[in-house]
């Protein structure tokens, strides 16, 4: 089992990718959708970083889990 974390500075939020080295299946926990409150726009910079990790390790996403309700956790 491998656990990789990603930290979003703007929201002080951690996202985790938990994967099984044998099956190459993984769960993404608490993904972040970037939101610029001053511009009223969203972006996927944080999600793109997580997906780049998933692709570079040839993982298959089986679950996307949200541990709590939060404005920036949108899957």
pLDDT tens digits for 20-49?
Answer: 999 999 999 999 888 877 888 888 999 999
Burial-class residue 15 by CB neighbours within 10 Å (0-12, 13-18, 19+): buried
Summarize the confidence of residues 39-62 as an average pLDDT: 94
Which residue in this structure is represented by tokens 């994967």?
A: 19
**What is the pLDDT at residue 49?**
96
Average model confidence (pLDDT) across the chain: 89
Is the CB of residue 47 less than 8 Å from the CB of residue 53?
Answer: no
At CA 25, angle to CA 68 and CA 50, rounded to 5? 55
Task: Report pLDDT for 71.
Answer: 60
Question: What gap in Å lies between CA 50 and CA 14, rounded to an integer?
Answer: 11
> What is the distance between the alpha carbons of residues 47 and 2, in angstroms, rounded to a whole number?
19
């Amino acid at each position: 089992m491998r656990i990789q974390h990603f930290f979003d500075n703007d929201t002080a939020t951690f996202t985790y990718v938990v994967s099984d080295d044998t099956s190459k299946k993984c769960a993404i926990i608490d993904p972040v959708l970037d939101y610029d409150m001053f511009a009223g726009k969203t972006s996927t910079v944080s999600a793109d970083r997580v997906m780049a990790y998933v692709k570079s390790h040839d993982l298959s996403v089986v679950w996307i889990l949200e541990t709590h309700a939060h404005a920036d956790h949108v899957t």
